[in-house]
Amino acid sequence: MKLELTYLNHTTQTLIIAANEVIEELKLHGYEAYIVGGAVRNLLLKKEVNDIDITTNCLPENIIKIFSKTVPIGIEHGTVIVLWQDFQFEVTTFRVDGEYIDHRRPEQVQFVTDLKSDLERRDFTINALALSETHEIIDYFDGQKDLKNKEIRAVGHAAHRFEEDALRMMRAIRFQSVLNFNIEENTLLAIDELAATIALVSIERIVVELKKLLMGKGVHQALQIFYKTMHRYLPFFRDIRGNTTTYQLQSPAEFTVYIAYIIYCELKIDQDLTSKISDFKLSNQEKKKIKDCVLIFDYFNHPEMSLKAFVYRFDIDLIQNVYHFILNEKVVIDNLVDITSIQKAKQQLTIQTRDELQIDGNVLMTYLNKKPGPWLKSMLNNIELAVIEGRLSNRQEKILEWAKNHV
């Protein structure tokens, strides 16, 4: 089958032209080379292509000799980055994988000379597709048929694929969600059988897949499988006590909001998972976002501060993300404040940060003739709140007068 690519936007066409130039350069030196993997899948689905991988029978050391600009990022596994024009391409030698000893990566690889052997080691049929420079599709495992039928099917024996790399189970449900496909029966049975081995995969790799899964159109079905099979073997999720049906979303959601929602729900049954956020090995910024989202959920359910204080304290984008999550998932909250009121309150704030206060601790201590102490932090907090809520003008003379009366 020859792939028609005239519909592509200019950026993608330029990317493919550059990839074909790399392939032509390899062919000029007597080698085979093909575009492979996700790029071919996305082209067949008429989806956006952001990067392209190339596979070849050229050995890594010869790739480095042929191209003037290269980065040998994984030369022991046959991978070299080729810098060509304004693009970079991962060019990998045809290979078969040796024994997987840790359910993560092969102990060694063996370079081979035929494309079929290379494609046979890949995870799913829809990813085991190659494209020649003349746009001919090479499909040894009926990947095009599975694309047409919207099925995720392992290449060869599903259990073998998952025994090699347990992360492939998460990748299966991630693709199911993102592509809104179904998982083929034998592939699904293998996930159920080998689910416990997901514990051998680093949580960082799990989080990468989970973030993508949560943003897919098929998130509900993917999370059904996740909670039926794998969640009990993973940090954070294994400590959930509530009914996991609650956490099988109906709509896409951001990871931070989703994890915050689980924590918020679990707190209602006296299970505090806040400390378990660290299990994900996230940045401090992401951890703070999750904790803030928990407090935002709590505010919507039971507001204990003014609306102006609320929109001042929390990032407006986080507030809006949580708000839309509540609507999408039909979370039961009495008297939910409407988003227009939230946005209006944000716009009406006289200050956005404490730095905008027309006062500081030194001025207060001098004016009130007092030494530093706990009173100062409390005073600044009260001044900040009064200004936010419009009870106090943000002018130094008014603030000092107020402070004198409230010291």
CATH tag for 354-405 (out of 3.40.228.10, 3.40.190.10, 1.10.246.80, 3.40.50.720): 1.10.246.80
pLDDT tens digits along 181-202? 999 999 999 999 999 999 999 9
Which residues, listed in sequence order, are joined to residue 92 by a DSSP beta bridge? 55, 79
Whether residue 161 is annotated as binding a ligand: the answer is no
d(CA 231, CA 248): 12
Residue 3, pLDDT score: 79
Please name the residue that has the structure tokens 């000799």: 65
In this prediction, residue 2 has a pLDDT band, given cuts at 50, 70 and 90, of confident
d(CA 81, CA 140): 26
Contact 141, 184 (CB under 8 A): no
For the domain spanning 150-234, the CATH number is 1.10.110.30
Tokens for 154?
A: 């392992």
Residue 9, pLDDT score: 86
Whether residue 171 is annotated as binding a ligand: the answer is yes
Whether residue 41 is annotated as binding a ligand: the answer is yes
3-state DSSP assignment of residue 394 = coil
Whether residue 395 is annotated as binding a ligand: the answer is no
- Reported in sequence order, the residue ranges of 219-290 that DSSP labels E, i.e. its strands, are none
Q: Return mean pLDDT, the chain.
A: 94
pLDDT tens digits along 168-181? 999 999 999 999 99
Residue 367, pLDDT score: 93
Whether residue 391 is annotated as binding a ligand: the answer is no
Which residues, listed in sequence order, are joined to residue 71 by a DSSP beta bridge? 81
d(CA 42, CA 38): 6
- Let me know how many helices (H) and strands (E) the chain has, helices first: 18, 11
- Determine how many CB atoms are found less than 10 A away from the CB of residue 340: 8
Contact 172, 184 (CB under 8 A): no
pLDDT tens digits along 50-91? 999 999 999 999 999 999 999 998 888 899 999 999 999 999
The CA angle 187-210-107, to the nearest 5 degrees, is 60
3-state DSSP assignment of residue 283 = coil
Share of the chain above pLDDT 70, in %: 98
Residue 320, pLDDT score: 97
Contact 294, 260 (CB under 8 A): yes
Residue 159 has pLDDT above 90, yes or no: yes
Tokens for 280?
A: 């994900």
- Determine how many CB atoms are found less than 10 A away from the CB of residue 394: 18
Average pLDDT over residues 362-374: 93
d(CA 50, CA 43): 11
Contact 111, 118 (CB under 8 A): no
d(CA 238, CA 245): 15
Average pLDDT over residues 129-154: 96
Name every residue whose Cβ is closer than 8 Å to that of residue 91 and which is 6 or more positions away in sequence.
22, 26, 33, 53, 54, 55, 56, 58, 63, 79, 80, 81, 82
Q: What is the 3-state secondary structure (H, E, C) of 117-183?
A: HHHHCCCEHHHCCEECCCCEEECCCCHHHHHHHCEECECCCHHHHHHHCCHHHHHHHHHHHHHCCEE
Distance of CA 39 to the CA centre of its chain: 19
Q: Residue type for 176, please?
A: Q
Residue 153, pLDDT score: 98
Contact 229, 195 (CB under 8 A): yes
Whether residue 95 is annotated as binding a ligand: the answer is no
In this prediction, residue 105 has a pLDDT band, given cuts at 50, 70 and 90, of low
Residue 107 has pLDDT above 70, yes or no: no
Architecture of domain 1-149: 2-Layer Sandwich (3.30)
Residue 98 has pLDDT above 80, yes or no: no
Average pLDDT over residues 366-379: 93
Contact 403, 379 (CB under 8 A): yes
d(CA 260, CA 329): 14
Residue 43 has pLDDT above 80, yes or no: yes
- Determine how many CB atoms are found less than 10 A away from the CB of residue 154: 26
Residue 102, pLDDT score: 61
Whether residue 390 is annotated as binding a ligand: the answer is no
Tokens for 140?
A: 């040894």
Report pTM.
0.91
Whether residue 168 is annotated as binding a ligand: the answer is yes
Share of the chain above pLDDT 90, in %: 90
Residue 5, pLDDT score: 78
Alpha helices (H) along 302-391 = 307-313, 316-328, 339-348, 361-368, 374-388
Residue 393, pLDDT score: 95
